[in-house]
Amino acid sequence: MPRTPLSYDNAGIASVLDEIGDLLELKGENVFRAVTYRAAARAIRDLRSPLKDYMEAGTLESIPKVGKSVKDVIEQLLTTGTATRHEELRAAVPDGLLTLLRVPGVGPSTARTIYDHLKITTIDELEEAAKSGRLRQLPKIQAKTEENILKSIASFRSRTGRSLIVDAQAAANAILEWLQNEATFDRITVAGSLRRWRETIGDIDVLVASADAAPIMAAFTRAPTVERVLANGETKSSVVIDRGLQIDLRVVPLASWGAAQMYFTGSKEHNVRLRGIALRKKLLLNEYGLYRVGEEKTGTPVASRTEEEIYAVLGMEWIPPELREDHGEIDAAVAHKLPALVEVADITGDLHTHSNWTDGRDPIIDMARRARDKGYAYMALTDHSVGLGMTQGLNVERIAARSAEIAKVNRELAPFRVLIGTEVDIRANGNLDYPDELLAQFDIVTASVHSAFSQPRAQMTRRIIGAMEHPLVDAISHPTGRLLEKRDPYDVDMTALIDAAVRTRTRLEVNGGPERLDLPDICVHEALEKGAELVISSDAHRVEELEWMALGVATARRGWTTKKSVANTRSLDEIMGSRKRAER
């Protein structure tokens, strides 16, 4: 789809530059050129202001890696919506080659070889060739590569096309703001999976209370982000916005607000159970209210205005949206035994963040100030260990230099405290990436897997449990390794990991990164039932990503987490005093 001029944001431009890098490599041009385009793309993703501002100020070339040719591409994209260099390369490289390159595990030279020998251009053909063992007969392609290609294709196909919650939230906030400016109404809320904080979102549901739906429908369908109107009715409309996301809008009378919120929040399974319970009381629950059977067409409802009233008439407590999945919450609500879920306001600090000392964007002082301004008492800076060659992990000298900088920040921001932390890599062989005497110098240690994801289940399980058994490892970060819609979790025995976490008193992280949300909600529930302790973290690599804590908290809530199971709801003294090493 052709883009309209000026519609490119920084991320969009960075993607084009990456694609130019790919195309250059596919064409067999000088690889350093490709490297330059990709490096510029990375620098652009890290910028704090829009490229348009740089262009207008004439300072594009002050951005790292942006020289004359990259600058031309950016200016053309911003002013015309296309770039000559990009178009020329696309014309010179067959489409099929790019398709092959999109398969994880297929690099430019592999793509070229496959294309030149087999004339393959589609994923289906690639799968077919891999299955019949024809790829491994090609020069420089090994049996292992062929197996990895098959695995990538399988995981590619298992993607659902659902959106990350942050993208859906951003789109929903934009439409809510638009409607608030363009129309008048009594109430507005998001409903559906977004209100339940599911890890991915199929479509966005927006609910409005108003006696006059027409002007709201009109404002909705003419919103600037709307690309296509799918349905435009009297009280319900659906649109597709520029990110390809669908938004459903429903307008209801204010008197039905509680019933409508319940109906459109779902989940469907939760609603089905509620309706069953209502029927046993000779009541009928629909999106307008809770009625005595037979009176739903004519009568006044028994309850309809608020969710609380309706749940109360059904004989139960109000149920937080995060729990409405028919996973036992209804029985708990009837028994008045719903958990008092942990809240963002309970969080006292963030124990997993990164700075520009490794792959983070921002300096320590900026990260710390933002954390302090959020009301935290502390923040652990857990930059990567050295083994992660890709992200320039910290060696011994740089650890010392960083610690000196942290000490300076701590003097400035006291009583706020930055902890000297590390996210130490658990190597493929199960060893930690730093020797014990070095690990002992950190205030807090979180360990994680960043490589050799395809190890067999038993080996991966042993690898992580080994790290848990280390007395200096306080927590395991993103324990399943999944990246939503991108990478499947590695094969690991989660029940064994949870048992080992309890036995070794190692905390399990609920990582709030929108692609991670790891531990997943279901595993959180299992971990809590076994008595594991959690830590909820943002894994922020930029100041604004500290807000991802809210996603971690939501995931923990969906797993029925209460405050007492979360280490970072306590004071720093309590957290430090309850580390494993404090007991030795």
Q: State how far the Cα of 198 lies from the Cα of 451, in Å rounded to an integer.
A: 28
- Is residue 271 near ligand DGT by the rule CB under 6 A? yes
CB-wise, 110 or 193, nearer to ligand DGT?
A: 193
- Bridge-based pairing of strands 444-448 and 475-476 is parallel
If one asks whether residue 205 binds ligand DGT (CB under 6 A), the answer comes out as yes
Minimal distance, residue 263 CB to ligand DGT, in Å: 6
Is residue 236 within the footprint of ligand DGT (CB under 6 A)?
A: no
Contact 237, 247 (CB under 8 A): no
Cis upstream peptide for 5 (omega within 30°) = no
Binding at 489: pick from ligand DGT, Zn ion, Ca ion, none (beta carbon under 5-8 Å per type):
none
Compute the half-sphere exposure of residue 317: CA atoms within 13 Å on the CB side of its CA. 15
Least distance between ligand DGT and beta carbon 542 (Å): 27
Distance of CA 386 to the CA centre of its chain: 25
Closer residue to ligand DGT (CB): 119 or 268: 268
- Between 278 and 424, name the residue whose CB sits nearer to ligand DGT: 278
> Could you tell which of Ca ion, ligand DGT, Zn ion, none binds residue 423, using a CB distance below 5 to 8 A set by kind?
Zn ion
* DSSP label of 566: B
For residue 169, give every residue at least 6 positions away whose Cβ sits within 8 Å of its Cβ, in sequence order, or none.
Answer: 194
The nearest distance, CB 551 to Ca ion, in angstroms, is 18
205 binds Ca ion (CB under 5 A): yes
Q: Considering the complex, what minimum distance in angstroms separates the CB of residue 247 from Ca ion?
A: 8
* Smallest distance from Zn ion to CB 363, Å: 17
Residue selected from 423, 433, 509, 545 as contacting Zn ion according to rule CB under 5 A: 423
Which residues on adjacent β-strands are paired with residue 207?
A: 189, 250
Segment lying near Zn ion (by CB under 5 A), choices 180-188, 336-344, 416-424, 512-520: 416-424
Q: Name the amino acid, one letter, at 77.
A: L
First to last CA, the chain: 62
Kindly tell me which of 26 and 239 has the beta carbon lying closer to ligand DGT. 239
Please give the size of the binding site for ligand DGT, defined by CB under 6 A. 14
The helix (run of H) or strand (run of E) holding residue 278 is: helix 268-280
- Integer-rounded Cα Rg, in Å, for the chain is 27
Binds ligand DGT by CB under 6 A, chosen from 21, 96, 192, 289: 192
Q: Which of 48-56, 82-90, 285-293, 536-544 is the region at the interface with Zn ion (rule: CB under 5 A)?
A: 536-544
Least separation in angstroms between residue 266's CB and Ca ion is 8
Residue type, 500: A
Q: Which of 21, 192, 289, 513 binds Ca ion (CB under 5 A)?
A: 192
Chosen residue from 72, 203, 295, 485 binding Ca ion by CB under 5 A:
203
Which one of 235-243, 265-273, 450-458, 516-524 is the stretch in contact with ligand DGT (CB under 6 A)? Answer: 265-273
Nearer to Ca ion, 204 or 473 (CB): 204
Residue 320 Cα distances to 73, 274, 341, angstroms = 49, 14, 9
Q: Which of 544, 480, 542 is nearest to 516 (CA)?
A: 480
**Nearer residue to ligand DGT within complex by CB, 326 or 491:** 326
Least separation in angstroms between residue 356's CB and Ca ion is 38
d(CA 412, CA 170) in angstroms, rounded, equals 34
Positive or negative torsion for Cα 203, 209, 211, 214: negative
Of 206 and 379, nearer to Ca ion (C-beta) is 206
> What is the rounded distance in angstroms from the CA atom of residue 254 to the CA atom of residue 184?
13
CB 351 within 8 A of CB 444: yes
Residue 286 engages ligand DGT in binding (rule: CB under 6 A): no
Of 18, 199, 325, 539, the one binding Zn ion (CB under 5 A) is 539
| Cβ atoms < 10 Å from Cβ of 573 | 9
| Count of other CB atoms within 10 angstroms of residue 297 | 6
Binding mask of the shown chain, residues 232 to 271, with x at each position contacting Ca ion by CB under 5 A: ----------------x-----------------------
Q: Edge-to-edge strands of the sheet including 226-232? A: 187-191, 204-209, 246-252, 236-241, 226-232
Name the one range near Ca ion by CB under 5 A: 98-106, 190-198, 301-309, 334-342.
190-198
| Binder of residue 539, out of ligand DGT, Zn ion, Ca ion, none (CB less than 5 to 8 A by kind) | Zn ion
- The size of the interface with Zn ion (CB under 5 A), counted in residues, is 2
What SS3 class is residue 229?
A: strand
Measured from the CB atom, is 190 or 406 closer to ligand DGT?
A: 190
Beta bridge partners of 232: 237
Residue 268 lies near ligand DGT (rule: CB under 6 A): yes
- At 417, the amino acid letter reads R
220 and 175 in contact (C-beta within 8 Å)?
yes
* Dihedral (CA of 577, 578, 582, 584) sign: positive
- Choose from Ca ion, ligand DGT, Zn ion, none: what does 309 bind? Cβ within 5-8 Å by kind: none
Whichever of 164 and 528 has its CB closer to Ca ion, that residue is: 164
Size of the site for Ca ion (CB under 5 A): 5
Displacement of CA 81 from its chain's centroid (Å):
29
Cα separation, 165 vs 113, in Å, equals 38
Applying CB under 6 A, among 69, 82, 267, 356 the residue interacting with ligand DGT is 267
Supply the minimum distance, in Å, between the C-beta of residue 427 and Zn ion. Answer: 16
Taking CA 247 as the corner, what is the angle to CA 244 and CA 249, rounded to the nearest 5 degrees? Answer: 165
Min dist. Cβ of residue 275 to ligand DGT (A): 7
Q: Which is nearer to Ca ion, 265 or 348 (CB)?
A: 265
CA-based torsion, 105, 510, 364, 515: positive or negative = positive
Residue 203 lies near ligand DGT (rule: CB under 6 A)? yes
Structure tokens at 43: 């620098």
For ligand DGT, the binding residue among 101, 126, 201, 386 (CB under 6 A) is 201
Give the pair of three-digit tokens for residue 248.
């459903």
User: Which parts of this chain interact with ligand DGT (CB under 6 A)?
Assistant: 192-193, 198, 201-203, 205, 263-264, 266-268, 271-272
User: Which parts of this chain interact with Ca ion (CB under 5 A)?
Assistant: 192-193, 203, 205, 248
